[in-house]
């Protein structure tokens, strides 16, 4: 069975949901006008998001 189309549809539907207010300051996009939601994420970008999440959670 091939679930690629179902997985792709789920990802596309998930992208339509609004971000929670906490996520807005964790994920800021590539520039002031570009989110680049279909691009691959770099290790540096995920490290920054984890750092921001930990700061927001008061763990660091």
Does 40 have pLDDT greater than 70? yes
pTM of the predicted structure, to 2 decimals: 0.55
How many Å apart are CA 27 and CA 18, to the nearest integer? 13
Q: How much of the chain, in percent, has pLDDT values that exceed 70? A: 60
**Most trustworthy range by pLDDT among 8-17, 25-34, 41-50:** 41-50
Burial class (CB in 10 A: 0-12, 13-18, 19+), 26: middle
């Amino acid at each position: 069975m091939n679930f690629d189309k179902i997985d792709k549809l789920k990802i596309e539907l998930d992208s339509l949901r609004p971000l929670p207010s906490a996520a807005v300051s964790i994920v800021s996009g590539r520039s002031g006008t570009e989110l680049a939601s279909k691009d691959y994420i770099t290790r540096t970008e995920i490290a920054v998001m984890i750092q921001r999440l930990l700061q927001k959670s008061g763990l660091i």
